[in-house]
């Protein structure tokens, strides 16, 4: 299974691809799509869409996972993140890639074993799980890898119960 994880955002959209190799996970590639501050929102969304389509075409994931929207206090941030999520979901649907969505606490539980794990703990677990020398940067890329890892761990159970 080759899984693409996406941490949505309009300034920075983290992405990471992992592949299950027997019982081990292997990093395929990781990065972040960025858009310049001050760029009009429609152009930012188009740039993210085009970048994500190129990643999908190049890396050919079998499945994908996107982090669900976490509603914080800043409504404007929630709206722009929601728009970035929409762009990611559209690009994945157009490519015919099945998508699952995970709450941040579910990702933390799957990767670190604790739904209240902090960012540093999560990054270290991503590093250890994938056997990396360093934590991937930027943080959004490491978060995307955590989402992909969660999906690889969770997808077989979802398939058994047809809950996807």
Cβ of 134: how many Cβ atoms within 10 Å?
7
| Residues constituting the chain | 164
Q: How is the beta sheet containing 99-102 ordered, strand by strand?
A: 24-34, 12-21, 2-7, 63-67, 99-102
Catalytic member of 57, 67, 68, 162: 67
- 7 belongs to the catalytic site: yes
Find the catalytic residue in 21, 29, 43, 140: 140
Is there a catalytic annotation at residue 140? Answer: yes
CA–CA dist 40, 45 (Å, integer): 9
Catalytic residue at 101? no
Q: Which of the residues 7, 19, 101, 139 is marked catalytic? A: 7
List the catalytic residues.
7, 67, 140
């Amino acid at each position: 299974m080759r899984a693409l994880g996406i941490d949505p955002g309009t300034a920075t959209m983290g992405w990471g691809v992992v592949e299950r190799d027997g019982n081990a996970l292997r990093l395929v590639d990781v990065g972040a799509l960025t858009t310049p501050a001050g760029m009009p929102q429609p152009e930012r969304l188009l740039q993210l869409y085009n970048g994500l389509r190129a990643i999908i075409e190049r890396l050919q994931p079998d499945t994908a996972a996107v982090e669900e929207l976490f509603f914080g206090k800043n409504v404007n941030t929630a709206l722009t993140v929601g728009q970035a999520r929409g762009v990611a979901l559209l690009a994945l649907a157009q490519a015919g890639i099945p998508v699952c969505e995970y709450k941040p606490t579910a990702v933390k539980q799957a990767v670190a074993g604790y739904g209240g794990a902090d960012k540093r703990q999560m990054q270290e677990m991503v590093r250890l799980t994938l056997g990396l020398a360093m934590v991937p940067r930027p943080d959004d890329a490491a978060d995307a890898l955590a989402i992909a890892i969660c999906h690889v761990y969770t997808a077989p159970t979802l398939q058994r119960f047809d809950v996807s």
